[in-house]
């Protein structure tokens, strides 16, 4: 019997850094090359498995004069940072259902340095996601599916979606707590449900947590303990609104000797402490309030952008009276 299982590690666990992708939602995907390159070098040095650079956004929907390069992740722009990516680090992009012209903008794998396409979908877009999964697999990529905003998905619909996904060739299914609502018991239940659905298929289960209630790291650990092998995190927890699971905390927890914490601390010290002077993210009360009411954080993001950014009670009343 294992007395202290936490001192060992599970070699199947893979970490995806989504610093540039999720962080890009704060600043219109306009990171300077120096920072993107630093995150890339850090991921390589830290033994992180995947780095997600941004979205494959449709330029017909998202005007290129209003967004940075990482909204589109054109091949040339990625290569500007990573060259031929001569490293063990795999590269990922996110493709949102209905916001990606995937047939055109996702090129065959043999022409791309990208390794993994992460299809992101809301529950009402599942058939589109299935088509995107097939397209990306046919083109030769690893593919995962991120079913977003799970805290507002009804249980029968979730089971149906999982049944559909396990019949595709997708490599992993990711639990996404978009609104930062979940607590440990619920994370545990969801992960067990996802694992049960995927049983015998070889598909992995993962988690993408948000930090609205200061639980992104805790929930990521809880998912891991429940059996999730794909874990998302970002440098200094950067990400839209309250942000994500902080990479430094996650690497501090993991015991696989292939991971190195020190390069991540260096990256935070050199790039993310200064960045915090320019853009805001983290566990602020308004993000907790939207999570408390199981809402998208957009109203909290708007609040924080205005002059009444610390008027918490009025913001709470607005939701409480709704």
Select from 146, 213, 141 the least CA-distant residue to 173: 146
Q: Which is nearer to a copy of itself, 112 or 212 (CB)?
A: 212
Q: How many CB atoms lie within 10 A of CB 267?
A: 23
Find the shortest distance in angstroms from Cβ 42 to a copy of itself: 12
CB of 7 or CB of 63, closer to a copy of itself: 7
Give me the least distance between CB of 235 and a copy of itself, in Å please.
11
Minimum distance of a copy of itself from residue 30's CB (angstroms): 24
Continuous segment of H or E residues that includes residue 205: strand 204-208
Spatial distance between the Cα atoms of 64 and 70, rounded to a whole number of angstroms: 10
Q: Which is nearer to a copy of itself, 16 or 247 (CB)?
A: 247
Distances in Å between the Cα of 279 and the Cα atoms of 42, 71, 118, 238 are 21, 18, 26, 10
Helices (H), 68-124: 75-82, 102-105
Q: How far is the CB of 264 from a copy of itself (least distance, A)?
A: 10
Q: How many Å apart are CA 73 and CA 25, to the nearest integer?
A: 14
Angstrom distance (rounded) from CA 317 to CA 273: 33
CB of 6 to a copy of itself, least distance (A): 6
Closest CB to a copy of itself among residues 279, 313: 313
Tell the smallest beta-carbon distance from residue 319 to a copy of itself (Å): 11
Nearer to a copy of itself, 266 or 299 (CB): 266
Cβ proximity to a copy of itself: between 42 and 92 the closer is 42
What CA–CA distance (Å, rounded) separates 310 from 289? 12
Strands 230-233 and 14-17: parallel
Q: Which residues bind a copy of itself (CB under 8 A)?
A: 5-6, 183-186, 211, 213-219, 221-222, 225, 246, 248-249, 252-253, 261-262, 265-266, 268-269, 273, 283, 285, 288-289, 292, 310-313, 316-317, 320
């Amino acid at each position: 019997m294992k007395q202290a299982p936490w001192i060992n590690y599970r070699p199947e666990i893979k970490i995806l850094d989504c610093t540039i992708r999720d962080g890009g939602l704060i600043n219109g995907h306009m990171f300077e090359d120096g920072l993107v390159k630093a995150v890339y070098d850090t991921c390589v040095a830290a033994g992180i498995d995947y780095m997600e650079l941004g979205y494959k956004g449709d330029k017909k929907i998202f005007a290129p004069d209003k967004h940075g390069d990482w909204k589109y992740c054109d091949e040339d722009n990625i290569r500007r940072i990573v060259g031929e990516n001569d490293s063990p680090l795999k590269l990922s992009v996110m493709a949102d259902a209905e916001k990606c012209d995937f047939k055109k903008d996702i090129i065959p794998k043999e022409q791309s340095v990208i390794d993994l396409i992460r299809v992101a979908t809301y529950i009402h877009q599942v058939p589109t996601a299935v088509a995107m999964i097939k397209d990306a697999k046919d083109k030769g990529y690893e593919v995962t599916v991120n079913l977003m905003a799970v805290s507002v998905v009804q249980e029968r619909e979730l089971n149906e979606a999982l049944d559909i996904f396990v019949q595709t060739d997708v490599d992993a299914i990711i639990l996404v707590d978009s609104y930062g609502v979940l607590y440990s018991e619920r994370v545990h239940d969801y992960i067990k449900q996802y694992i049960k659905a995927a049983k015998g298929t070889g598909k992995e289960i993962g988690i993408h947590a948000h930090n609205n209630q200061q639980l992104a790291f805790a929930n990521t650990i809880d998912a891991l303990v429940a059996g999730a092998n794909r874990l998302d995190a970002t440098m200094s927890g950067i990400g839209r609104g309250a942000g994500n699971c902080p990479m430094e905390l996650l690497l501090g927890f993991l015991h696989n000797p292939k991971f190195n914490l020190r390069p991540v601390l260096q990256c935070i010290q050199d790039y993310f402490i200064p960045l915090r002077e320019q853009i805001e993210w983290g566990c602020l009360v308004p993000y907790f309030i939207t999570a408390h009411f199981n809402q998208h954080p957009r109203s909290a993001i708007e609040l924080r952008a205005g002059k009444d950014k610390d008027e918490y009670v009025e913001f709470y009343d607005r939701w409480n009276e709704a």
